[in-house]
Structure 1
Amino acid sequence: MNETLIIIGLTLLGLCFGSFVNAAVWRIKKKKNLWNDRSQCVHCHHKLAAYDLIPVFSWLSLRGKCRYCKKPISRQYPFVEVAVALFFVGSYLFWPYMLTGVAPWLIFSLWLIAGVMLAILFIYDLKWLLLPDKATFPLIGVGVLTVAVKLVTAQDIATTLISTALAVLILSGIYLIVFIWSKGKWIGFGDVKLGLALALLLGDWQLALLALFLANLIGCIVVLPAMAQNKLKRTSHIPFGPFLIAGFIIAGLFGPAIIDWYLAISMIGIPTTDTI
């Protein structure tokens, strides 16, 4: 298939799914049906027509205001739509595995679906410091399907299962221990469930360890300067889900290359039998 057509198709799909993400966030918050409820203005609650829901274009044509009540529409809407589209296209361009055959394309498709769920969780956690089960449980389901596909095509099923189990211990088990130890003060149980989903999606203990490291690194880069400037306090509630999601995406797309690079440089200077 022509690569240009694939990129165009992924861009359009990403924009549409980004629009769904925006709607899903509010539907979950308002405890409405995720799939059947009509989209509406968050201010006047007017039901939106199809031409009000064209990703990015509708927001631009309306100059960021509701067609009916004229109140401003958050920039979050076009931003999320573009972000999901970039995730779709970027995932294709930087996918670290060969997309040849049904199974690799199926795993890639599950990755994109997971990205949609992750976008919902990312925004929801930023806004309300909560990772809702309505997005987390479907994400775990996508992770289980990903593991199933890998097992069907795996040359060594035992190794795949062990690596996945170790990934779960790293990304979910550690957070479970922290959750129990702190009695839920340091992290929420939602992070434990999110870690389980991400571990299943990665299915590799090395990638899980990298994702954990990156999540904490990104968290430190964001939080420590804010604390130094007194924008955050030690007692401030900080959503960790977005950091975990960011670390997961980097590990998923660039993890194999990062691990290979690390192993290569770690071998430099180690004497071999020829030099002893």
Structure 2
Amino acid sequence: MLIVAATMLGLLCGSFANVLIARIPAGEGWAKGSSRCPQCRHDIAWYDNIPVFSWLWLRRRCRHCQEPIPGRYPLVEISVGVLFGLVAWQFGSSAVAWLLAFSALLTVALAAIDFEHHRLPDPLVFAMAGAVLVLLVTDAALTGDWAALARAGIGALALGGFYFVLWFAYPKGLGFGDVKLAVPVGAVLGYLGWGALAVGAIGGPLVGGLLALVASIRAGGVKGVRFAYGPAIIGAFWIAVLWGPAIATWYVDLAAGWAV
């Protein structure tokens, strides 16, 4: 029941993520006003704003102007819902689970914005950093696991420092928003363990390389190709959160087998 409830809550939060994706890059306030069509600016009724279902019921078009509703809307809602369910499955209802659920909302929004606008807005990155600080300290206080909090600090410095060096060496190839995002990402992964931190650190460039390959194929060559790197950090983050320790253990066992 916890997983089902978390998934349903995630779908609703995914609808809110779409508000952030639409309004923050445009410089609009997200806390006030009802949802509205980006084309005709008509307010959207609550029954037309049910996650996924309304998109299907309206046949992917605005009720008022008949403009197509992009598939990004249900994709974001489903992504947040799935991540909420996976977090509940892996972490229950702990303080870390609440942090990861909030991170799911923000990271999905950040990935979508970076894909579309090639930037990671500070309000979302700083909101994630603030939540990481508060909830990790809270969890450490409740569990008495201060060593995990120390690992979080090391993870923040290590991953943030790694991307800072990359940005400093080649600022045209990496935005400073990626550096700022790496700090809370590294803190969470460090808190979860060395295995999660290692997988997240190594996974970022690997996922980034895959995104670069896809972008090059779509552009018909590598010259002048630009792609958003934030989703690579975010994708590696979630791989590490959900399966990092298992991947790290598998790799260590494999390496040990090779050594023998």
Aligned match for 1:116, one of 94, 105, 118: 105
Shift of 1:91: 2.4
Q: Which amino acid aligns with 1:38?
A: S
Structure number with the higher helix fraction is 2
Shift of 1:224: 2.8
Please say which of residues 45-54 and 165-174 is displaced more in the overlay. 165-174
- The corresponding residue for 1:24 is 20
Shift of 1:45: 0.5
SS of the residue 2:94 aligns to = helix
In the alignment, is the contact (CA less than 8 A) between 2:204 and 2:233 conserved in 1?
yes
Q: Which amino acid aligns with 1:185?
A: K
Shift of 1:46: 0.6
Q: Which has the larger radius of gyration?
A: 1
Q: 1:84 to 1:161 in 2, by over 3 A?
A: closer
Aligned match for 1:247, one of 221, 227, 236: 236
In the alignment, is the contact (CA less than 8 A) between 2:196 and 2:244 conserved in 1?
yes
Which deviations, in whole Å up to 9, do the C-alpha atoms of 1:223-275 show, x marking residues without a partner? 2354367535343221110011000001011111112222233333667xxxx
Aligned match for 1:187, one of 174, 186, 190: 174
Aligned match for 1:221, one of 205, 210, 226: 210
Q: How many residues end up aligned between the 2 structures?
A: 258
In the alignment, is the contact (CA less than 8 A) between 1:64 and 1:72 conserved in 2?
yes
In the alignment, is the contact (CA less than 8 A) between 1:18 and 1:85 conserved in 2?
yes
| Cα separation, 2, equivalents of 1:26 and 1:258 | 36
In the alignment, is the contact (CA less than 8 A) between 1:107 and 1:149 conserved in 2?
no
1:105 partnered with 2:105:
no
- The corresponding residue for 2:135 is 146
| Cα separation, 1, equivalents of 2:55 and 2:82 | 18
- Structure 1 segments unaligned to the other structure (5+ residues): 272-276
| Cα separation, 2, equivalents of 1:229 and 1:76 | 19
Q: Which amino acid aligns with 2:226?
A: H
Shift of 1:169: 2.7
In the alignment, is the contact (CA less than 8 A) between 1:142 and 1:201 conserved in 2?
no
In the alignment, is the contact (CA less than 8 A) between 1:170 and 1:209 conserved in 2?
no
- The corresponding residue for 2:8 is 12
| Cα separation, 2, equivalents of 1:206 and 1:234 | 36
In the alignment, is the contact (CA less than 8 A) between 2:10 and 2:83 conserved in 1?
yes
| Cα separation, 2, equivalents of 1:25 and 1:260 | 37
In the alignment, is the contact (CA less than 8 A) between 2:167 and 2:174 conserved in 1?
yes
Q: 1:86 to 1:161 in 2, by over 3 A?
A: closer
| Cα separation, 2, equivalents of 1:132 and 1:206 | 29
Q: 1:9 to 1:227 in 2, by over 3 A?
A: same
- The corresponding residue for 2:56 is 60
Aligned match for 1:86, one of 82, 94, 117: 82
| Cα separation, 2, equivalents of 1:119 and 1:35 | 18
Q: 1:35 to 1:230 in 2, by over 3 A?
A: closer
Shift of 1:153: 4.1
SS of the residue 2:184 aligns to = helix
